[in-house]
Chain A
């Protein structure tokens, strides 16, 4: 019976730690809390530990502000806003963007087309220069005919 009562008091205390430290218990409940804390060693140990964490929560409320943070943040924000402005307004009317892009594509295609055409025409010129022309053919024929005439004379006048 005694143990049961102690357990009940322990759970009352452990369930009301926040309320006790925030002063939201009634005077009757506060009394009950403190009486048990005075008797139970285990609960009193838990109260001490909880109190240190609770004071940490309170100290957490007041974090020392960094005196230079405002200037630093303001500078960074202004810089970012400038970047935003530059991205939105690049210095020429917005409708020119697709027009410029199309122009670049057309120019690229035309350059490619002309390069291809030039390559083809220079290629056909090369094959033409490899072939002997009619004048050269005529000269060769003449030379052959010369030899044959010389040979003919050689054979006639040995």
Chain B
């Protein structure tokens, strides 16, 4: 099925086209969303929302950009919306805990081997460092490093010039490097 056939099929709400869209794009959407929210279930919810938005607003899609670029753009926006909502939710939860309206219980820890524990810790350090990057740097870094998109594709998704994206990715890597080196030195100081 060509892209134009897919778009025409989606505009008519053709079941085959819908199945093709979900089958071919769901994995990529999930992957991108996962790298923003770091949770599989949340990434699946975002994927569903993205696909629904694609189907609901396919009529407004202009063919001057690739369908995948448009879908990536929706995915990034939805993921950032999700993070914003989650941040607000966390703030209210913290407020409720301070006021004594809610008691937060830690989930029971599963038994992990030493390697798994180390990997879990490393993943947490990495996710924290990536999440602390400024907005556009984070988007550019995730799309470039994890989704392996070219700077040209990222520029189309983010509506920026190629040079801006290249600079964003470069600055993101420098920032991340700095944060991680700082973490390693702090960790070493604590150990000694």
| Chain A residues within 8 Å of B, Cβ to Cβ | 14-15, 17-18, 42, 45-46, 49-50, 52-53, 56-57, 60-61, 63, 65-66, 69-70, 72-74, 76-78, 80-81, 84
Secondary structure at the A interface, as helix, strand, loop or mixed, is: helix
The answer to whether A76 touches B177 (Cβ under 8 A) is: no
Q: Which residue of A lies closest to B181 (CB)?
A: A14
Q: Is B131 interfacial (CB-CB < 8 Å)?
A: no
**A-B pairs with beta carbons under 8 A, tally:** 82
The answer to whether B126 touches A17 (Cβ under 8 A) is: no
CB-defined A-B contacts under 8 Å, sample of 10: A46-B181, A61-B145, A63-B31, A65-B27, A65-B30, A72-B44, A73-B44, A74-B23, A77-B18, A81-B55
B147-179 CB contact bits vs A (8 Å, 1 = yes)?
110000000000000000000000001101100
The answer to whether B122 touches A53 (Cβ under 8 A) is: yes
Across the interface, A80 reaches (CB within 8 A) one of B44, B52, B118, B174, namely: B52
The answer to whether B44 touches A77 (Cβ under 8 A) is: no
Q: Which residues of A contact B125 (CB under 8 A)?
A: 53
Bound CA–CA A19/B126 (angstroms): 17
Q: Is B77 interfacial (CB-CB < 8 Å)?
A: no
Q: Is B180 interfacial (CB-CB < 8 Å)?
A: yes
Q: What 9 A-B pairs come out closest when comparing CB atoms? A: A18-B173, A74-B22, A65-B27, A49-B184, A46-B184, A14-B181, A53-B126, A17-B177, A73-B48
Q: Which residue of B lies closest to A18 (CB)?
A: B173
The answer to whether B174 touches A61 (Cβ under 8 A) is: no
Nearest chain B CB to A86 CB, angstrom units? 14
Q: Is B34 interfacial (CB-CB < 8 Å)?
A: yes
